[in-house]
C-alpha cells in the first residue's frame, strides 16, 4: 500500500468521526437557537410591547386628567395634542402586537385588549365635550364612573397578557437548559473517542513507513562531499513515495555533478578577468603622472598592440578647442611610421574609416584586407595584415580619439575585452591630460595677468593715497555742507514763519478790504440815492446851477465808487481768486454795446467815436468771459476818451496775425486769435514810460494825475484780466500823436467752453453796472421787467403805476440809508415801513399782514440780516414766499452766496443803483 493511501485512510477515518460529531453538535445548537428565539423574539417582544402600551396609556390618562383639571382654555389644545400623540404611538405598538399573536390563546387576549382599549378611548370625547361646555362636576363624575373603570379593565387585560408571556419565557428557558446539558455530555464522549481512534491510526501508519526511510538515510549518509564529481546512487526497491524520493535523489546527484563542472568553468573566467584587471591596473600605473597627450598616446599603443596580438597600431586625437571643422590628428604610431603617407596625419571628421569611426562612435572590424592596403615591415621582411580594427575612445559620451590596429591573425577575445575595459579609463586619462595642459596654459596666462595686476595694484595704491587726500578734502567739504544745511534749515524755518505771517496778513488784508468796502459804501449809498433823487427835480424847484452842484456831487460819488471797485478788483486778481466764466460772446453785440455806452461821452468832449468790426474770416462769436472782456475794453476806451482833447477814439475788432501773437509773448496754438485795437489821437505815452503805466497806482508822470485824475489802476487790472483770459494787452504810442492799445484773445478761450458759472462776487471797476451782480432772479423775469419799462426813458410812469400802493419793509440800522431809501421809494408812492434791527422787523411783520416785500440789511446789531431772514422763513408758512432782497455794503463773492443760502430771494450791493433797485422791485412785486 502507498504511503499516500495509508495517510488518506487513517486521516479520513479521523475526519469522518469529526464530521459526525459536528453534525450532532450542530443539531443540538439549532435546538438551543430555537429556544432562544422563542424567548427573545416572541415572548420578550410581547412583554416589551405590552409595557410600551401600558406606558402610553398612562400618559394618555395623565393628559386626560390634566385636561379635565386645566383652568386655562389656551392650554387645552396642548393636552389634546399630547393625547393624540399617545394614541398614534399606541396604534404603532398595537400593530406590532397583532403580528405576534400565533396561538388561539394569544389571539383571545389580544381581542380582549383591543375591546378594552376601544371602550377606553370612546369615553374620552364625551369627557372633553363636558369640559368644553363648562360642566366640570359632571365631567369629573363621568371620569371616575366610566373612564377610570374602562381604564382599569384595559390594564387588567394587559396584565393577563404579560402573565401568559412570562409563563412562555419560563418554559422556553427550562427546555434550553435541558438541551445544553445533553450537548455537553455528548460532546465530551465524542472527543474521547476521537483521541483513541487517532492515536491507533497514527501508530499503524508510522510503523509501516519508518523501515523504508531507514534504507534511504543509510544510502545518503555514505556520500563523500569532497568528491562531488562521482556521487553514489540509491537503489529503488518500492514504488511508493519513498521510492520516488530515491529517484529524486538520484536526479539531484546528476544535477549536482553538472553544477560542479559549471563552477570550474566560471572560476576559469574569473581568473581571466582578474588577469585583465591586473593589466588594466598596470596600464593606469604607466599612464599616471603623464600630462602630455602625445606621450600618453604613445604609451597606450605600445602597451595595447602586443596585448591585441597586432603588428601595427596608430592613435588619432581630436582637440576640443580647435577652431573650424573637427579633425583627428595622428599623435602616436606603433611599427608603421615609415610606411604611412605624410598627408594622412590629419583626418577630417567622417573621412575614411578613422573619421567614420569617430563620427558614428562605433567600433569597426574588417577582415580580408586588400593586398595594396598596408604592409607591416620588420628587419627580416614584410607582410600584409589580414585584419583591421578601429576603436573610438570616448569621454562622457564624446569621442576624443580613435585607435587603429592591424593584425595578421584574428584579434583574440581576451584582448578585445581588455581593450574595452581600458578604453573608458584611457578616455578619462586623455581628458585629464588635456585639462592639465589647459590649466598649465591658463596658469601661465594667469601669472602674466598677475604681474600686470601687480603693476596696476601699485598704480592703484598711488591713486588710493591720492583718493585718501581727496576724501579728507571731501569730508571737510561735507562738514561745511552740513553747517550750510543747518543754516539753510534755519533759513527755511524762518521763511515758513514769514510765509505764515504773509498768509495771515493776506487774510487781514481781505477782511480789511471787506470792512473798508462796507464803511465806504454805506455813506455812498445815501449820497448817490439822494443826489439822484434831487437831480430828477420832480417838483422843478431847483435852479440849473443847483442841479450842476448836485451832478458834481453825484459824479464825485461815482468816482469814489469806481475807485473802491478797482481796488477790490486788483486785490482779487493778486490773490488769484477771480473766477472766469467762458461763454459764446457775439462780437457784433460787443461792438453795439460799447458804441452805445461811449457815444454820449465822446459827443460831450467833441470827439469822434468809431467802432468797427472787420469783415472776412473773423467768426461771429468769441469764447470768453463777456463781463471781463467788457471791463477791459471799457477801461481802455475810458482812458482813450480821458487823455484825448481833440480828434477821435476808435475801436477796431479784427483777426490777429500770427507774428503779432508771437511778438506779444503768447504761444501760438492752432486756433484763431482776435485783436481789439483801441486807438486815440491823444497825448500819447513816452517809450520809457510804456511799461510803467501797466503797474498799479502808476501813471506816466505826476502831472498826469493832477491834470486828468484817476488812480492808475485801470491798465494794471486790464492786463491782469487779459492774462486770466489767455491773452495779453500791448501798447504802441508816440507822444503827441496818440496811442493804440491792442487786446489779443484766443478765439476758443484759454480753456474749453462750457465751464460752470463762476462770478467775481462784486461789481467790476468800469463805467457801467456789471450784469448778474444785481440779481440772481431768472432771466425771464428780468426780460419781463425790461418789457414793463424799467430803465427806459419815459418808463418811470409805468414803474410808478406798478409800485404804487405796495408796502415795503425796510430793515437797516443806519438812519441815513433809511432816509435815502424811504425818500426814493415814497416818490414812487410806495408805503415804506422801517425797522432798525432784526427783532423790530419780526415784530412789525407779525403786526402788519399787508407787507409785500422786505429790503433787508445784513450787518445789524442784536439780530443780523442772515439770522433775521432765517427766522422769517421758519416763522410761518406764509412768509416762505415773501420776497426778501438783501442789501449789503460787502461786495465779496461769498457774501452773496451767504445771503441766498440764508433764504433771500435776491441780492444787491451798496451803494444802490436806483435803476437796479427799481428793476428788482418790479420783478419781485410783479409776481
Q: Quick count: other Cβ atoms within 10 Å of Cβ 766?
A: 23
Q: Quick count: other Cβ atoms within 10 Å of Cβ 289?
A: 6
pLDDT for the residue numbered 358: 82
Taking only the tens place, the pLDDT of each residue in 889-906 is: 766 667 788 899 999 999
CB 898 within 8 A of CB 866: yes
pLDDT for the residue numbered 519: 65
CB 697 within 8 A of CB 660: no
C-alpha cell at 49: 410591547
Mean pLDDT of 640-661: 89
| Per-residue pLDDT at 678 exceeds 90 | yes
DSSP state at residue 378: -
Taking only the tens place, the pLDDT of each residue in 283-292 is: 777 777 777 8
Using alpha carbons, select from 92, 80, 81 the residue that is nearest to residue 55: 92
Higher pLDDT, 34 or 612: 612
HSE at residue 331, side-chain half, CA atoms within 13 A, is 21
Taking only the tens place, the pLDDT of each residue in 351-380 is: 888 888 888 888 888 887 776 667 777 767
Mean pLDDT of 2-21: 75
What is the rounded distance in angstroms from the CA atom of residue 21 to the CA atom of residue 24?
5
CB 364 within 8 A of CB 373: no
CB 313 within 8 A of CB 424: no
What is the rounded distance in angstroms from the CA atom of residue 422 to the CA atom of residue 277?
9
Higher pLDDT, 815 or 262: 815
Lowest mean pLDDT among 44-58, 68-82, 303-317: 44-58
Chain centroid to Cα 452, Å, comes to: 58
Q: Quick count: other Cβ atoms within 10 Å of Cβ 174?
A: 11
pLDDT for the residue numbered 518: 63
Q: What is the gyration radius of the CA atoms in the chain, in angstroms?
A: 68
Higher pLDDT, 131 or 793: 131
Higher pLDDT, 895 or 813: 813
pLDDT for the residue numbered 227: 61
Q: Which of 679-683, 689-693, 732-736, 745-749 has the highest mean pLDDT?
A: 679-683
What is the rounded distance in angstroms from the CA atom of residue 41 to the CA atom of residue 34?
10
C-alpha cell at 747: 478765439
DSSP string, 880-896: GGS-EEEEES---HHHH
Using alpha carbons, select from 856, 836, 854 the residue that is nearest to residue 845: 854
Unique residue bearing C-alpha cell 416589551: 48
Taking only the tens place, the pLDDT of each residue in 408-463 is: 788 887 777 777 777 777 778 888 878 788 788 888 888 888 888 888 888 888 88
DSSP state at residue 73: G
pLDDT for the residue numbered 741: 92
Taking only the tens place, the pLDDT of each residue in 689-722 is: 767 777 655 555 544 444 444 445 668 778 888 8
Burial 85-113 (b: 16+ CB within 10 A, else e): ebeeebeebbeebeebbeeeebeebbebb
Looking at every residue in the chain, the average pLDDT score rounds to: 76
Q: Quick count: other Cβ atoms within 10 Å of Cβ 160?
A: 13
pLDDT for the residue numbered 209: 67
Unique residue bearing C-alpha cell 567614420: 356
Residues near 595 by beta carbon (within 8 Å), at least 6 away in sequence: 609, 611
Taking only the tens place, the pLDDT of each residue in 633-650 is: 988 998 889 889 899 999
What is the rounded distance in angstroms from the CA atom of residue 669 to the CA atom of residue 379?
107
Mean pLDDT of 811-817: 85
Question: What order of strands is seen across the sheet that includes strand 312-317?
Answer: 346-348, 327-334, 312-317, 398-407, 387-395, 364-367
Amino acid at each position: 500500500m502507498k504511503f499516500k493511501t495509508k495517510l488518506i485512510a487513517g486521516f479520513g477515518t479521523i475526519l469522518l468521526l469529526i464530521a459526525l460529531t459536528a453534525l450532532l453538535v450542530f443539531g443540538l445548537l439549532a435546538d438551543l437557537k430555537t429556544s432562544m428565539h422563542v424567548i427573545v423574539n416572541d415572548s420578550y417582544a410581547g412583554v416589551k410591547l405590552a409595557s410600551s402600551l401600558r406606558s402610553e396609556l398612562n400618559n394618555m390618562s395623565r393628559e386626560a386628567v390634566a385636561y379635565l383639571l386645566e383652568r386655562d382654555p389656551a392650554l387645552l389644545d396642548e393636552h389634546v395634542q399630547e393625547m393624540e400623540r399617545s394614541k398614534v404611538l399606541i396604534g404603532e405598538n398595537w400593530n406590532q402586537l397583532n403580528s405576534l399573536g400565533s396561538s388561539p390563546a394569544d389571539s383571545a387576549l389580544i381581542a380582549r385588549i383591543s375591546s378594552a382599549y376601544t371602550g377606553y378611548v370612546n369615553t374620552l370625547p364625551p369627557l372633553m365635550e363636558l369640559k368644553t361646555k363648562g360642566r366640570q362636576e359632571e365631567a369629573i363624575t363621568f371620569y371616575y364612573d366610566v373612564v377610570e373603570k374602562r381604564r382599569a379593565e384595559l390594564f387588567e387585560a394587559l396584565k393577563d397578557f404579560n402573565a401568559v408571556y412570562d409563563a412562555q419565557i419560563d418554559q422556553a428557558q427550562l427546555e434550553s437548559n435541558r438541551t445544553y446539558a445533553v450537548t455537553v455530555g455528548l460532546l465530551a464522549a465524542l472527543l474521547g473517542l476521537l483521541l483513541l481512534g487517532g492515536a491507533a491510526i497514527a501508530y499503524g501508519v508510522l510503523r509501516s513507513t519508518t523501515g523504508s526511510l531507514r534504507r534511504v538515510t543509510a544510502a545518503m549518509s555514505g556520500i563523500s562531499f569532497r568528491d562531488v564529481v562521482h556521487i553514489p546512487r540509491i537503489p529503488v526497491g518500492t514504488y511508493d513515495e519513498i521510492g520516488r524520493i530515491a529517484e529524486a535523489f538520484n536526479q539531484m546527484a546528476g544535477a549536482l555533478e553538472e553544477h560542479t563542472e559549471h563552477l570550474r568553468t566560471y572560476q576559469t573566467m574569473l581568473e581571466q578577468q582578474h588577469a585583465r584587471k591586473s593589466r588594466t591596473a598596470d596600464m593606469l600605473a604607466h599612464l599616471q603622472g603623464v600630462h602630455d597627450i602625445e606621450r600618453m598616446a604613445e604609451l597606450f599603443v605600445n602597451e595595447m598592440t602586443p596585448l591585441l596580438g597586432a603588428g601595427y597600431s596608430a592613435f588619432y586625437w581630436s582637440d576640443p578647442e580647435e577652431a573650424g571643422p573637427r579633425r583627428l590628428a595622428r599623435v602616436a604610431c606603433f611599427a608603421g611610421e615609415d610606411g604611412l603617407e605624410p598627408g594622412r596625419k590629419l583626418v577630417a571628421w567622417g573621412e575614411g574609416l578613422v573619421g567614420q569611426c569617430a563620427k558614428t562612435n562605433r567600433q569597426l572590424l574588417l577582415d580580408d584586407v586588400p593586398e595594396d592596403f598596408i604592409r607591416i615591415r620588420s628587419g627580416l621582411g614584410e607582410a600584409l595584415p589580414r585584419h583591421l580594427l578601429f576603436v573610438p575612445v570616448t569621454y562622457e559620451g564624446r569621442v576624443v580619439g580613435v585607435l587603429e590596429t592591424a593584425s595578421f591573425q584574428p584579434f583574440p577575445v581576451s584582448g578585445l575585452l581588455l581593450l574595452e575595459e581600458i578604453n573608458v579609463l584611457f578616455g578619462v586619462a586623455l581628458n585629464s591630460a588635456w585639462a592639465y595642459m589647459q590649466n598649465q596654459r591658463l596658469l601661465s596666462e594667469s601669472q602674466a595677468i598677475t604681474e600686470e595686476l601687480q603693476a596696476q595694484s601699485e598704480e592703484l595704491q598711488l591713486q588710493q593715497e591720492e583718493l585718501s587726500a581727496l576724501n579728507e578734502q571731501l569730508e571737510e567739504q561735507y562738514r561745511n555742507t552740513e553747517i550750510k544745511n543747518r543754516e539753510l534749515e534755519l533759513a527755511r524755518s524762518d521763511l515758513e514763519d514769514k510765509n505764515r505771517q504773509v498768509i495771515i496778513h493776506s487774510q487781514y488784508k481781505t477782511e480789511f478790504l471787506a470792512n473798508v468796502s462796507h464803511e465806504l459804501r454805506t455813506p455812498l449809498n445815501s449820497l448817490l440815492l439822494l443826489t439822484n433823487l434831487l437831480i430828477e427835480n420832480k417838483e422843478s424847484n431847483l435852479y440849473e446851477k443847483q442841479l450842476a452842484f448836485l451832478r458834481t456831487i453825484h459824479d464825485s460819488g461815482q468816482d469814489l465808487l469806481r475807485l473802491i471797485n478797482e481796488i477790490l478788483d486788483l486785490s482779487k486778481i493778486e490773490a488769484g481768486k477771480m473766477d472766469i466764466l467762458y461763454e459764446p460772446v457775439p462780437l457784433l453785440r460787443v461792438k453795439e454795446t460799447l458804441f452805445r455806452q461811449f457815444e454820449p461821452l465822446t459827443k460831450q468832449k467833441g470827439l469822434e467815436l468809431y467802432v468797427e468790426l472787420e469783415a472776412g474770416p473773423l467768426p461771429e462769436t468769441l469764447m470768453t468771459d463777456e463781463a471781463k472782456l467788457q471791463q477791459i475794453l471799457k477801461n481802455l476806451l475810458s482812458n482813450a476818451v480821458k487823455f484825448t482833447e481833440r480828434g477821435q477814439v476808435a475801436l477796431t475788432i479784427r483777426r490777429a496775425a500770427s507774428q503779432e501773437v508771437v511778438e506779444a509773448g503768447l504761444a501760438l496754438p492752432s486756433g484763431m486769435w482776435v485783436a481789439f485795437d483801441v486807438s486815440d489821437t491823444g497825448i500819447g505815452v513816452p517809450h520809457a514810460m510804456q511799461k510803467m503805466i501797466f503797474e498799479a497806482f502808476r501813471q506816466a508822470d505826476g502831472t498826469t494825475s493832477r491834470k486828468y485824475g484817476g488812480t492808475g489802476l485801470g491798465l494794471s487790472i486790464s492786463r491782469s484780466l487779459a492774462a486770466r483770459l489767455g491773452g495779453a494787452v500791448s501798447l504802441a504810442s508816440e507822444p503827441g500823436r496818440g496811442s493804440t492799445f491792442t487786446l489779443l484773445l484766443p478765439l476758443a478761450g484759454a480753456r474749453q467752453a462750457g465751464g460752470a458759472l463762476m462770478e467775481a462776487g462784486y461789481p467790476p471797476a468800469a463805467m457801467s453796472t456789471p450784469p448778474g451782480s444785481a440779481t440772481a432772479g431768472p432771466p425771464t423775469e428780468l426780460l419781463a421787467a425790461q418789457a414793463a419799462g424799467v430803465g427806459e426813458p419815459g418808463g418811470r410812469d409805468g414803474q410808478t403805476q406798478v409800485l404804487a400802493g405796495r408796502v415795503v419793509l425796510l430793515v437797516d440800522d443806519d438812519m441815513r440809508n433809511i432816509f435815502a431809501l424811504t425818500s426814493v421809494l415814497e416818490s414812487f408812492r410806495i408805503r415804506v415801513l422801517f425797522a432798525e434791527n432784526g427783532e423790530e422787523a419780526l415784530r412789525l411783520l407779525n403786526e402788519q399782514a399787508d407787507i409785500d416785500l422786505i429790503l433787508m440789511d445784513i450787518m445789524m446789531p442784536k439780530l443780523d440780516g442772515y439770522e433775521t431772514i432765517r427766522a422769517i422763513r421758519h416763522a410761518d408758512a406764509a412768509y416762505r414766499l415773501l420776497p426778501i432782497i438783501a442789501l449789503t455794503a460787502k461786495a465779496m463773492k461769498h457774501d452773496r452766496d451767504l445771503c441766498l443760502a440764508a433764504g433771500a430771494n435776491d441780492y444787491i450791493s451798496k451803494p444802490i443803483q436806483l435803476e437796479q433797485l427799481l428793476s428788482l422791485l418790479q420783478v419781485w412785486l410783479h409776481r
